[in-house]
A and B are shown apart, each in its own frame.
Chain A
Amino acid sequence: MALFALKRLGSMILVLFAVSVLTFLIFNVLPSGDPAVRMAGKQPTETQIEAIRVEWGFDQPIYVQYEKTMQNMFSGDMISYFNQLNVVEEIWKGVPRTFALAIGAAIIWMAFAIALGVWSAMRAGGVSDGMLNVFALIGISMPVFWLGALMNQYLGFELTQILGFELFPNGGYVEFSVSPFEWFHHLLLPWFALSVLFIGFYSRVLRANILETMDEDYVRTARAKGLSERRVMLSHVLRNSMISVVTLWGLDFAVVVGGGAILTETVFNLQGVGQYAADAIGQLDQPPIMAVTMFGAFFVVFFNALIDIVYAALDPRIRLQDGDTAL
């Protein structure tokens, strides 16, 4: 087991390295525009551009620039091209907000998906199953930023005008330490906006899994030995139907933290990590976008490795896959 974990972490480090190189190349080789020219403002002189080039190290060979970039990122010295703010500090400011959004949404989407998935599997082929299917399909077909913008406008803004009090706030984020209630209050709409897509997707997967599991022999056995339908459903069918859904849950959570929340954060102005990158797009300010891209990919890679190790600890068969029979 320890060997498996070590191997998995080793391959993780290789992928992280490759990810950092690819990200660096995307931002430093692809754009044919010279960042020094853009930073120098309108109608710069050749000497001004040259000075910026030397100051930021754009005149150095590419591998030196890569080394410098990584050094800056890990020592927390990376500076934005445009507002001169420290990029790493800005990302750390956004991390608790992004996590608050992702964790709450993950709980909501799982709870709803289980409820709806079980409901429609029990009534498979019926009217309510069909309706839920249609809703799920609409849910996965909606652009989250559009849904979020409409929720923010109509539930957050207009509804407040009509009611005379704030049932839902109109965007923004309140620190948990300032007011736990307002924190929760401000995250409600974003949580649901982000969850809709996943509720649609997960409830469908779970429904299919449940229907498949119900055909299994051990379910027939459980029924035959006289267990109540409720018992059969909960401890035999649902338990086994949840395995693949829980795996998806872990992967999707990583993706949402790693960047999937960017649109929700932006629409509700939560000032998370993703929004930091989104705000930098308008100015074509590369360091924040590059740093957030690396942050996102790093988190996804790290979290996936973690999931693999946890699964290997739970299920010995996984340790023996991929030809690692010697383990």
Chain B
Amino acid sequence: MSEKNDLRLSGTADKPVSDLEAFAEPPAVTVEGSGGQSPWRLAARRLRKRRFALFMGAVFVLLVLVMAAAPLWAEHVAHTSPNENHLSDQIDVGGEKINVVGLDGVPIGPTWRGEFFLGADGNGRDVAVRLLYGGRNSLIIGLSAALITLLLGLTTGLLAGYFRGWTDSFLSRIMDILWAFPVILLGIALGTSLALGGLKLGPVSISGGSLAIPIFVIAIVYIPYLARPIRGEVLSLREKEFVEAARAQGMGPFRLIHSEILPNVVSTGLVFFPLLVANAILLEAALSFLGAGVQPPEPSWGTMIDEGVARIVTAPALAIVPGMMIVITVLSLNVFGEAVRDALDPRAKVRIEH
């Protein structure tokens, strides 16, 4: 071990540090951190220096706010709803009546006004409204799925790593099996099966077209990607002196996990979260594109690309625009997520299969 690591270890007085964190520090940051600050404040300070990453984080927040405002735009500006078709309607453009969908089947392009701001799709639906609602669906799915993965992945990793023995064998085998499936195929398998008849778990009944199904499917497939590294960290943490000390004081296993071990793995969870959201959004788009995610007519960026590709020759914007939205959203999360990783845990092995 080199001197910089020793420095770092003694530098954080108020909170025990995991192996990963201890070995993680690049020298430049170590000197800055040796003043005895809390790791969180240190991370926040490092993050503040990443101007571009913060800007991209702000872009993501802005996207969330804009998508959340979808109903406002639909009701007060566009005066339509995402699934309402205007196939036989005409609109007034510069005193001229124009069909929303031309006789040749080509929908109108952007009007840059309230109604049909970005034009119409092949079914005469308002693209701008669908883009907002679709984005809302994509973000709801991405954020909820990542949150569920985070909770279940942390729980699984903590239990398997702390209790070892048969608990570990059992949970790890389940993770191995889930891990064996390529994520997209497991997503398709679960997505098609659940979309068929919905899900009935005791009193809870979810219909086949519900957003809860892609959320559930995506949350499940990513659990091993978080649970495995967490388990590894917990395995080494549980042998540390501070855990032993707590145990010797008579602390029960669950309180011990909660108050001694959890705080040391939370940073790994936080490092994963933005990247989980990004990948969940990409997986949702892929599943919806294939017909195993969000079910039509309900919009999502993935289903919109699917519908757009069918008309790419006559109305290419229908496929290009939702794709651009995905790229911007996922890019903002990836850039921000990378900075969060560098700030909290630069050596974290974050790897999520696409």
Measuring CB to CB, which residues of chain A are less than 8 angstroms from any residue of chain B?
15, 18-19, 22-23, 26-27, 30-33, 137-138, 140-147, 149-150, 153, 157, 197, 248, 252, 255, 258-260, 262-263, 266-267, 277-278, 281-282, 284, 286, 289-290, 292-293, 296-297, 300-301, 304
Within 8 A of A (CB), among B171-185: 173, 176-177, 180-182, 184-185
Contact of A30 among B177, B199, B319 (CB under 8 A): B199
A212 to chain B, nearest CB (A): 9
Q: Which residues of chain A have C-beta atoms less than 8 A from B176's C-beta?
A: 15
Contact of B182 among A22, A289, A296 (CB under 8 A): A296
Interface string of B174-217 (1 = CB under 8 A from A): 00110011101110111011111111100000000000000000
Does more than half of chain B's interface fall in helix, strand or loop, or is it mixed? helix
Once A and B bind, how many residue pairs between them come within 8 Å at the CB atom? 143
Interface string of B38-71 (1 = CB under 8 A from A): 0000000000000000000000000000000000
**Could you say which of B160-168, B265-273, B329-337 contacts chain A?**
B329-337
Tell me whether B184 and A31 are in contact (CB under 8 A).
Answer: no
How many chain B residues have a CB neighbour from A under 8 Å? Answer: 48
Tell me whether B194 and A145 are in contact (CB under 8 A).
Answer: no
Q: Which residues of chain B have C-beta atoms less than 8 A from A197's C-beta?
A: 354
Q: Which residues of chain B have C-beta atoms less than 8 A from A262's C-beta?
A: 184-185, 188, 290
Q: Which residues of chain A have C-beta atoms less than 8 A from B185's C-beta?
A: 258-259, 262, 277, 292-293, 296-297
Most buried by A among B190, B309, B313: B309
B27 to chain A, nearest CB (A): 10
Q: Which residues of chain B have C-beta atoms less than 8 A from A278's C-beta?
A: 188, 290
Q: Which residues of chain A have C-beta atoms less than 8 A from B290's C-beta?
A: 262-263, 266, 278, 281
With contact pairs A30-B193, A30-B194, A145-B289 given, residues A153 and B316 touching in the complex (Cβ less than 8 Å): yes
Tell me whether B188 and A277 are in contact (CB under 8 A).
Answer: yes
Cβ of B323 within 8 Å of any chain A Cβ, yes or no, is yes
Residue of B nearest to A275 (CB): B290
Residue of B nearest to A281 (CB): B291
Tell me whether B305 and A32 are in contact (CB under 8 A).
Answer: no
Tell me whether B334 and A259 are in contact (CB under 8 A).
Answer: no
- Give bound CA distance, A26 to B185, whole Å: 12
